[in-house]
Amino acid sequence: MNSAYIASILNSTLRSTTPILLAALGSAICSRVGVFNIALEAQMLIACFFSIAVNYTTGSVLLSVAAGVLSGALVGLVVAVLQVKYRAADMVIGTSLNLLVQGGTTFLLYLLFGLRGVLNDPKLVSLTKINLPLIRDIPFLGRALENLTILDYLCYFIAAALFVYLFKTVSGYRTLSVGINKAAAESLGTKATRIQMRMVVLSGALCGLGGTALSMGQVIMFTENMTSGRGFIAMAAASLGMSHPLLTILSSLFFGLCQGVGLALQTVIKSQLTMTLPYIATIVALVVFSRRGSGTKKKSLPKA
Partner 1 sequence: MKPSELAGRLWRALRQPLVATVFGLLVGAAVILACGQNPGAVYLEMFTKSFFSPYYLFSTLTRATPIIICAMATGMAWRAGYINIGVEGQMVAGTFAATVAALYLPGPPPLAALLAWLIGMAAGALYALLPAVLNWKFQVSMVITTLMLNYVANNLASYFVTYPLKDTSGDGLALQTPEIAEALRLPRLSSTSTFNAGFLIAVAVLLFMLFVTKKTVFGYESKMGGFNPSFARYGGTKQVKVMMITMALSGAIASLAGTAEVFGLKFRYADNMLSSTSYAWTGLMAALIADLDPLGMFFVSIFLSGLQIGGSAIQRSLGIPLEIATIIQCCITLFVSVKLVFRLTRKQSAKAEAKGGAQA
User: Which CB, 190 or 228, lies closer to partner 1?
Assistant: 228
> Is residue 88 near partner 1 by the rule CB under 8 A?
yes
> Is residue 257 near partner 1 by the rule CB under 8 A?
no
Chain Cα centroid distance, residue 297: 19
User: Which CB, 168 or 303, lies closer to partner 1?
Assistant: 303
Query: Which segment (2-10, 139-147, 209-217, 277-285) binds partner 1 by CB under 8 A?
Result: 277-285
Task: Classify strands 222-223 and 129-130 as parallel, antiparallel or unpaired.
Answer: unpaired
CA distance 94 to 53: 24
User: Which CB, 179 or 260, lies closer to partner 1?
Assistant: 179
Q: How far is the CB of 106 from partner 1 (least distance, A)?
A: 5
Can you tell me which of 12, 16, 64, 106 binds partner 1, judged by CB under 8 A? 106
Q: Which residues fall within 8 angstroms of residue 40, CB to CB, at 6 or more apart?
A: 23, 26, 27, 203, 207, 231, 232, 234, 235
Q: How far is the CB of 274 from partner 1 (least distance, A)?
A: 9
Contacting residues toward partner 1, per CB under 8 A: 34-36, 38, 82-83, 86-93, 95-97, 99-100, 102-104, 106-107, 110-111, 116, 228-229, 232-233, 235-236, 239, 270, 272-273, 275-276, 279-280, 282-283, 286-287, 290-291, 294, 297-298, 301-304
